[in-house]
Amino acid sequence: MKSLIFAFFTFSCTISFTQLGNTMYGLARTTNPAAVYIATMDPTTGVATNIGQTSVSTSINLTGAALNPYNNRFCFFGDNGLKSVDLTTGQLTNTAVINNPNGTGYFDLFRFNTSDSLMYGLSRRNITNPQTGQVTGTMYLATIDELTGTVTEISPSSIGQSFALSGSAIDPHQMVFYYSNGSQLVGLDMYTGGIFSNPTLTFPNGGQNFDNFTYSCTDTTMYGLVRSNYYTPVYNPVTGMTTQVFDSAAVHLGKVNAMTGEVTKISSQSIGVSSFSVNGSSTIDPVNLIYYFISGSGTGLTIYGVSLQTGLVVSQSTISNSGALYFDMMRIQTDCYESYPTRLNPGTANLAESNFSKIKTFPNPFNTELKIVSDENMLSYEIFSANGINLTTGIISGNEITLNTERLSEGIYYLNIYTSSGKTTHKLMK
């Protein structure tokens, strides 16, 4: 019987981040002449550095962007299609026109899902009734192929007609895609395309809007900006009417319970801005636990870093770049890197269950050792934490092994065993 030593958790995570880096990328753009460059950003100084010297587009669409850390590409919609840009050279590698077999339309709010390496977004198109001529807006959860632009709709029927420019987020562990329609936070099942959850957003301790939200794999929480609007009553002596005129706004870092819709402020006081770039212009540094967003316009752009733990501003820098006026759609490449779905596809649950009979794990719950017995030769294994972090990977051989799990803390884990027949997943507890 073989005995395998379990890799230490912190070491494994450190190796992943060190190999990948923790760089912030985004789109630096100018208006005269109109040009777009892939750039890196040092959020502590505000200095944005173009990677390449050649413009990759003349415009951008602010309804989505995706950073693929596995093929080192940044994707966004530019002036003539879906652009793919190499993060090493800053050069354009591909442009694809949207190709939806179900009809002409749009692809919005898209993001890269690190747990299955696909880009998900909202396929939006209009359907005309041939009898009445009435046009109805429809929307579906879909994926898009980076190289061909082919859109594959997952939702069996329309899940809505519109969305708010407050961002989108993917929970790669639960496999849920989130967007807001203004009053609700809508979660879509990425396996089936159906509604996973759609609670009404509530603000028990103040606020009217939850914007620029993004998911943190570090603590499995969705963060965003809580905006409170204030109005001043203005009396018009001519009409005798009193109207409410926008006066100011207060912005706090907050988080949301995706199942209940309850938004909680983390910042005890306003961050000190009244406006910010919307719809995806935010990202999370998973190493230092900082939420970044941009406020201002033109040459007055400022990038703010806010602690996820305290809600306090930890950095505030004016953005500078050789010629660029704006920095949009920022992403940090380690954000949700190598995540893993802990909610399995309900459509394949029976198939996965049938494979369990070939491989046995015991005891469960386990303590310092975990034994694995298989009907066929095992090739390798992986162990993931409950929030999708890959703790260790090992090459094995034989029908029976013992893993040393002494260093694991109490909690839920997922074990993948690979054989010539495929992969089997077991949910375990210590």
Number of separate domains in the chain: 2
Q: Please report how many Cα atoms fall inside a 13 Å half-sphere around the Cα of residue 199, on the Cβ side.
A: 11
Would you say residue 15 lies in a domain? no
Interval 52-57 mean pLDDT: 93
Q: What is the pLDDT of residues 289-318, one digit of tens each?
A: 999 999 976 567 899 999 999 999 999 999
Q: Are residues 308 and 370 in the same domain?
A: no
d(CA 418, CA 413): 17
Q: Are residues 242 and 378 in the same domain?
A: no
SS3 (DSSP) at 300? helix
d(CA 225, CA 165): 13
* CA proximity to 172, closest of 389, 349, 425, 409: 389
pLDDT attached to residue 280: 63
Q: Are residues 294 and 403 in the same domain?
A: no
Interval 32-55 mean pLDDT: 92
In total, the chain counts a number of residues equal to: 430
Q: Other C-beta atoms within 10 Å of 201: how many?
A: 20
We report the CATH number of the domain holding residue 413 as 2.60.40.3080
Enter the pTM of the model.
0.76
We report the CATH number of the domain holding residue 220 as 2.120.10.30
* CA proximity to 142, closest of 161, 164, 159, 166: 159
Q: Are residues 318 and 358 in the same domain?
A: no
Instruction: Single out the residue in 332, 351, 370 at which a domain terminates.
Output: 332
Q: Are residues 410 and 309 in the same domain?
A: no
Q: Are residues 312 and 361 in the same domain?
A: no
In this structure, what token pair is assigned to residue 70? 């596995």
Instruction: Single out the residue in 332, 359, 374 at which a domain terminates.
Output: 332
Quote the domain boundaries for residue 180: 23-332
Residues with Cβ within 8 Å of residue 6, at least 6 apart in sequence: 383, 391, 392, 403, 404, 405, 406, 407, 408
Q: Are residues 361 and 299 in the same domain?
A: no
Q: Are residues 205 and 300 in the same domain?
A: yes
Q: Are residues 325 and 222 in the same domain?
A: yes
Interval 130-146 mean pLDDT: 89
If you average pLDDT over each of 181-195, 242-256, 368-382, which comes out highest? 181-195
Q: What is the pLDDT of residues 167-197, one digit of tens each?
A: 899 999 889 999 999 999 999 999 999 999 9
d(CA 110, CA 122): 7
What is the average pLDDT score of the chain?
Answer: 85
Would you say residue 280 lies in a domain? yes
Q: What is the pLDDT of residues 197-235, one digit of tens each?
A: 999 999 999 999 999 999 998 888 999 999 987 666 777
Model confidence at 35: pLDDT above 60:
yes
Q: Are residues 69 and 203 in the same domain?
A: yes
